[in-house]
């Protein structure tokens, strides 16, 4: 499983590549792609998936006729990760000697971790094929092309302290010593086999050229960019493909834009998931409300593990650590969806299947993060729990998790789909 996961991570360099790689694996397992613009005719036993905006995906497996359909068991995760995004007219020169890129923040990364790492570029471009006809093409340059050089320690002397890093001032990536500001556009056009003048749009992101690696004296740690939340995406996919059919529709939703608040046409705040559920119900000639009343959602996004050097940052009695099982997340103000009931349901599955679990609360004086579960519930209101894999250095260019927890999460999600 670890090796498969590493391969998945290496392909999934941006949210677009993640949706494509997930689609490829679904197709390989016999899932058929639906288009939102078509009429759907879904039958018992069907395995289908649908993609919106090339970046969000919902896949589902319908129970066989004899099982009936008694609701949806849904796993929701996100395919996007914080990084730097290229602006329009991104190439700029410095004193006629350097070429650098104008970028902006996508989400909240730990900026200093992006210094002095080989970076590449991936995402999608939109190509005009004829007249007003536009076509999306994915692009992943794969090789190291850029670096964000840090300032030498000697140049910080003289009382100047490390202030807050400003992307516009301190983090624009160096692209070489060419003075040709069109060179990147040309490279990208060539990469997608299009004429330069027809490449009219791009959603391109920088990513660290860093394959996932095993660390720890016994290889028990995994280090990789984007573990938040691709580890949960991978486990959800693995579970969907492994699970035995039950009387629930097994569904995996991978949303874009969690890192920027989810309020987009393909984010968790959109009608994407609800629309898919409605269309499944219509197709099966079942009313949606009774199905939803028997459904359950797991919002799967990674959790903060106890930090070995900052142990005071963890809550007093809820201190998840690496390799000790999945994390159930609680929050009094309901940024996490877990309730006494839904948390108990997750625990009951874990105990029945002998899967280790841990619990997480923020320290009461720490704001903590948020995720997509409670946002998705505003459209699809079902009992839900927030869970995740314990990890360190969330939003760093190299995050760390426990290798055993991958198995724990995949086993949990499989049992959830079969419950
Ligand atoms: Co996340």
How many angstroms does the Cα of residue 300 sit away from the middle of ligand 1? 8
pLDDT at residue 355, rounded to an integer: 98
How many angstroms does the Cα of residue 74 sit away from the middle of ligand 1? 17
pLDDT at residue 6, rounded to an integer: 96
pLDDT at residue 369, rounded to an integer: 80
pLDDT at residue 366, rounded to an integer: 87
How many angstroms does the Cα of residue 255 sit away from the middle of ligand 1? 11
How many angstroms does the Cα of residue 126 sit away from the middle of ligand 1? 27
pLDDT at residue 68, rounded to an integer: 83
How many angstroms does the Cα of residue 372 sit away from the middle of ligand 1? 8
How many angstroms does the Cα of residue 254 sit away from the middle of ligand 1? 11
How many angstroms does the Cα of residue 302 sit away from the middle of ligand 1? 6
Separation between Cα atoms, residue 13 and residue 20, nearest integer Å: 11
pLDDT at residue 159, rounded to an integer: 56
How many angstroms does the Cα of residue 219 sit away from the middle of ligand 1? 24
pLDDT at residue 293, rounded to an integer: 97
pLDDT at residue 162, rounded to an integer: 62
pLDDT at residue 335, rounded to an integer: 93
How many angstroms does the Cα of residue 51 sit away from the middle of ligand 1? 20
How many angstroms does the Cα of residue 79 sit away from the middle of ligand 1? 9
pLDDT at residue 160, rounded to an integer: 59
How many angstroms does the Cα of residue 26 sit away from the middle of ligand 1? 22
How many angstroms does the Cα of residue 259 sit away from the middle of ligand 1? 7
How many angstroms does the Cα of residue 80 sit away from the middle of ligand 1? 8
How many angstroms does the Cα of residue 78 sit away from the middle of ligand 1? 7
pLDDT along the chain (419 residues), means of 10: 93 98 98 98 96 98 88 98 98 96 97 98 98 97 97 78 85 95 96 97 97 96 98 98 95 97 96 98 95 98 98 97 98 94 98 98 88 93 98 98 98 97
């Amino acid at each position: 499983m670890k090796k498969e996961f590493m391969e998945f991570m290496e392909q999934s360099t941006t949210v677009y590549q993640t949706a494509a790689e997930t689609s490829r694996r679904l197709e390989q397992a016999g899932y058929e792609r639906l288009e939102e613009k078509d009429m759907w005719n879904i039958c018992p036993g069907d395995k289908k998936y649908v993609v919106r905006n090339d970046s969000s995906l919902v896949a589902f497996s319908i129970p066989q006729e004899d099982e009936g359909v008694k609701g949806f068991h849904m796993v929701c995760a996100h395919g996007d990760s914080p990084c730097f995004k290229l602006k329009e007219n991104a190439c700029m020169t410095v004193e006629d000697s350097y070429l650098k890129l104008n970028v902006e923040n996508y989400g909240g990364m730990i900026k200093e971790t992006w210094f002095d790492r080989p970076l590449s570029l991936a995402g999608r471009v939109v190509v005009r094929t004829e007249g007003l006809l536009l076509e999306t093409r994915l692009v992943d340059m794969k090789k190291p092309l850029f670096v964000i050089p840090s300032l030498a320690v000697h140049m910080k002397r003289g009382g100047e302290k490390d202030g807050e890093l400003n992307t516009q001032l301190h983090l624009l990536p160096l692209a070489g010593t060419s003075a040709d500001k069109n060179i990147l556009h040309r490279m990208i056009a060539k990469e997608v086999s299009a004429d330069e003048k027809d490449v009219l749009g791009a959603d391109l992101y920088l990513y660290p050229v860093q394959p996932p690696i095993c660390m720890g004296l016994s290889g028990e740690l995994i280090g990789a960019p984007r573990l938040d939340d691709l580890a949960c995406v991978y486990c959800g996919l693995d579970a969907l493909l492994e699970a035995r059919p039950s009387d629930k529709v097994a569904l995996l939703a991978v949303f874009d834009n969690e890192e920027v608040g989810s309020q987009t046409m393909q984010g968790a705040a959109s009608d994407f998931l609800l629309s898919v559920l409605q269309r499944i119900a219509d197709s099966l000639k079942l009313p949606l409300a009774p199905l939803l009343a028997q459904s359950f959602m797991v919002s799967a996004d990674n959790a903060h593990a106890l930090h070995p050097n900052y142990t005071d940052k963890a809550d007093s009695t809820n201190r998840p650590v690496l390799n000790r099982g999945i994390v159930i997340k609680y929050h009094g103000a309901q940024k996490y969806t877990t309730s006494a009931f839904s948390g108990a349901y997750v625990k009951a599955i874990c105990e029945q299947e002998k899967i280790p679990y841990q619990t997480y609360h923020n320290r009461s004086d720490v704001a903590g993060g948020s995720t997509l579960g409670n946002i998705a519930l505003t459209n699809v209101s079902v009992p839900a729990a927030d869970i995740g894999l314990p990890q360190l250095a969330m939003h760093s260019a190299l995050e760390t998790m426990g290798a055993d927890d991958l198995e724990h999460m995949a086993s949990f999600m499989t049992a959830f789909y079969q419950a």
